Amino acid sequence: MRLLNVNRSIFKAILTGTYTHLDLREFVQLCYNLALPLVRKKVHSGKIKLEILGLTENDVVQDIFADLFRIDEGNNFPRLQKFFQESISDPDKLSEVELVHELWRLVCATVKHEMTRLYMEVDPTLAKILRNTKLAVEKTGLFEEIDRFGEKHLVPRDTDPHFELPPIDLEQLQTEF
């Protein structure tokens, strides 16, 4: 599977600033391969409206990684280095699959954060609503945030979320609401 085809030396080269152009291209492609399905899932589920953003899926993925791959004066990637220094004490002890898993965690967090930023640029009012909702959830303690397959869900505290049941149809929910 191409998604997991990564060389440990490329990770090291990227994190130490000793990468070649080919190393960088392969690492960026890996990140792209990890992010594109996340973006497509969000588009398909209606969480991302490409027509509102005025971007294609590829444009969204490229925009998402613009800040992550910002290079400093020493040809280093500070955000990548910081993430891996905080999440992995010794990269040499991890398998290539585990390294990709850690990278996937970074990609998921970056997609989530950057999608919020894109929507803030396009629709500041929606961004304020989402921010205030998040603050209200944190302040009241009535809901707990559960991570399920990379998606955050709000579940009323001390209740059974019934994850075994299929999700409510969006049209039915809109009608009931």
Q: Looking at residue 4, what is its pLDDT?
A: 52
Q: Looking at residue 3, what is its pLDDT?
A: 45
What pTM did the predictor assign?
0.70
Distance CA 88, CA 82 (A): 10
Domain edges within the chain: 2-128, 141-176
Distance CA 61, CA 48 (A): 12
Distance CA 31, CA 35 (A): 6
| Residue ranges in the chain modelled with pLDDT below 70 | 1-6, 89, 150
* Tokens at 66, concatenated: 């613009």
Nearest Cα to Cα of residue 3 among 41, 25, 36, 30: 30
Q: Looking at residue 5, what is its pLDDT?
A: 60
